[in-house]
């Protein structure tokens, strides 16, 4: 299974029966030079919450590729307005797809969606544990540090994708604590340096994490899990 970092909290996941995007903020994302139309044949799109830097180009890509959007029930109602292919689930739920199992995990954050000049309800923000070819990825979404992350240790996470930018999410020190809770084999820091208010040094995070291997991924770099 392969992961590609696309800047901010966006990732491409490729494996058997899956070519998925997570939080596909592509167009207008200052941390990459990519276009949403660069992505073809996307089978699934995971969306952690309703904020614009996470929904990103979900609608354009899902429409063009007929991708299945995996998100919470409330966001599913929003995506239904655009006649998209949606699979809704909720916090704590696990389900089997043909590529492997997905569990929706809690996140401490907001999930409002801007629509027609108003903020509409996007339900609970979340993260995902995505299993592909017996490897487990944990994408935390936007979240503060939570005690619930201790439960993820038993999941035996191969690679964790954790926000480190602070202000809206965990900062470096809290993300280091999260690593201690989760004990992933590898970790990729995300959600930093896209905007001034989330400036953070991923190498400081790398120095501070003790047990997990930290990969400071470059945009478009392929990482084999
Ligand atoms: Ni957010
Ligand atoms: Mn965000």
* 120/203 Cα distance (integer angstroms): 37
Q: Which CATH number do you get for residue 184?
A: 3.60.15.10
Sequence-distant (6+) residues with CB within 8 A of 12 are 3, 4, 6, 19, 20, 21, 39
CB-based contact 114:99 (threshold 8 Å): no
- Ligand number nearest to the C-alpha of 198: 2
Banded pLDDT at 147 (limits 50, 70, 90): very high
CA 103 to ligand 1 centroid distance, Å: 20
Q: Is 13 exposed, middle or buried (0-12, 13-18, 19+ CB in 10 A)?
A: buried
Quote the pLDDT of residue 225.
94
The string of pLDDT tens digits covering residues 86-142 is 999 999 999 999 999 999 999 999 999 999 999 999 999 999 999 999 999 999 999
Please report whether residue 104 resides in a domain. yes
- State what percent of residues in the chain have pLDDT above 70: 100
The secondary structure of 118-184 as a DSSP string is: EEE-----EEEEEEETTEEEEE--S----GGGGGGGGG--SEEEEE---TTS--HHHHHHHHHHH--
Q: Is the dihedral of CA 42, 217, 206, 55 positive or negative?
A: negative
Total number of domains in the chain:
1
Please report whether residue 67 resides in a domain. yes
- For the segment 35-59, the average pLDDT, to the nearest whole number, is 98
Please report whether residue 225 resides in a domain. no
Please report whether residue 181 resides in a domain. yes
- Ligand number nearest to the C-alpha of 109: 1
CA 53 to ligand 1 centroid distance, Å: 7
The string of pLDDT tens digits covering residues 166-208 is 999 999 999 999 999 999 999 999 999 999 999 999 999 999 9
Please report whether residue 51 resides in a domain. yes
CA 171 to ligand 1 centroid distance, Å: 14
pTM: predicted TM-score of the whole model, two decimal places: 0.98
- For the segment 49-66, the average pLDDT, to the nearest whole number, is 98
Banded pLDDT at 217 (limits 50, 70, 90): very high
When the pLDDT of each residue in the chain is averaged and rounded to a whole number, the result is 98
CA 71 to ligand 1 centroid distance, Å: 14
* 214/196 Cα distance (integer angstroms): 23
Structural domain of residue 173, as residue ranges? 2-216
CA 53 to ligand 2 centroid distance, Å: 5
HSE-CB at 220 with a 13 A cutoff on CA atoms is 8
Please report whether residue 160 resides in a domain. yes
Please report whether residue 128 resides in a domain. yes
Please report whether residue 9 resides in a domain. yes
């Amino acid at each position: 299974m392969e992961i590609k970092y696309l800047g901010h909290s966006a990732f491409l996941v490729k494996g058997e029966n899956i070519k998925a995007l997570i939080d596909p903020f592509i167009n207008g994302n200052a941390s990459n030079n990519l276009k949403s139309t660069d992505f073809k044949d996307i089978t699934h799109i995971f969306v952690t919450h309703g904020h614009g830097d996470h929904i990103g180009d979900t609608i354009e890509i899902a429409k063009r590729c007929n991708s299945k959007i995996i998100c919470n029930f409330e966001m599913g109602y929003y995506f239904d307005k655009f006649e998209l292919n949606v699979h809704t689930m909720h916090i704590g739920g696990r389900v089997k797809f043909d590529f492997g199992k997905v569990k929706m995990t809690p996140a401490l954050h907001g999930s409002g969606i801007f629509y027609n000049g108003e903020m509409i309800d996007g339900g609970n923000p979340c993260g995902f544990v995505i299993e592909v070819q017996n490897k487990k990825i944990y994408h935390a979404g936007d979240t503060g540090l939570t005690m619930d992350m201790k439960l993820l240790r038993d999941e035996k996470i191969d690679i964790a994708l954790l926000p480190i930018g602070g202000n809206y999410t965990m900062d470096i020190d809290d993300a280091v604590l999260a690593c201690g809770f989760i004990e992933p084999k590898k970790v990729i820091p995300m959600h930093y340096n896209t905007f001034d208010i989330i400036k953070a040094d991923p190498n400081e995070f790398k120095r501070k994490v003790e047990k997990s291997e930290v990969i400071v991924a470059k945009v478009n770099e392929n990482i084999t899990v």
